[in-house]
Amino acid sequence: MENQTLRPRIEFVIDGSAFDDLEGFYAYMERLLADDPAFRCGRNLDALNDLLRGGFGAYGYGQPVAFRWTDWARSTALLGEQVCARIARVIRDTDETGHDCTLITEG
């Protein structure tokens, strides 16, 4: 096995009290992960997946990332359990599309 240098995970908090709908969630993620305030990603899970790969300012392309989603219960109540479950699957990269993210949900 090759000797690979492990890069530390950069940690981010997704504050579930900071948005009330799916549009607000996407806008929140843009502000969290992109340095350019004018940057806009698409409002869909494919665009979120691209954003999670990195390279938009908050962390480098392919950098391992850890997310902690606070007020998870509030988010599931407002966005819907199925929507939040789909978002969680994208963040956790359960289909292995190319980013290295973990997700912990709280509250």
Q: What is the pLDDT of residue 5?
A: 58
Q: Is residue 41 part of a domain?
A: yes
Confidence check: pLDDT of 1 > 80: no
Query: Does residue 79 register a pLDDT over 60?
Result: yes
Residue 72 has pLDDT above 90, yes or no: yes
Query: Helix/strand/coil (H, E, C) string of 12-69?
Result: EEEEHHHCCCHHHHHHHHHHHHECCCCCCCCCCHHHHHHHHCCCCECCCCCCCEEEEE
Name the more confident of 104 and 6: 104
Taking only the tens place, the pLDDT of each residue in 49-58 is 999 999 999 9
Token look-up 């690979």 returns 4
Mean pLDDT of 100-106: 96
Q: Decide if 92 is inside a domain.
A: yes
Q: How many CB atoms lie within 10 A of CB 19?
A: 20
Residue 2 located in a structural domain? no
Residues belonging to the chain: 107
* Domain carrying residue 92: 10-105
Number of domains in the chain: 1
Residue position matching structure tokens 């940057």: 39
Question: In this predicted model, what pLDDT tens digit does every residue of 10-59 receive, in sequence order?
Answer: 999 999 999 999 999 999 999 999 999 889 999 999 999 999 999 999 99
- The model's pTM: 0.89
Residue 101 host element (H or E): strand 101-105
Q: Does 68 fall in a domain?
A: yes
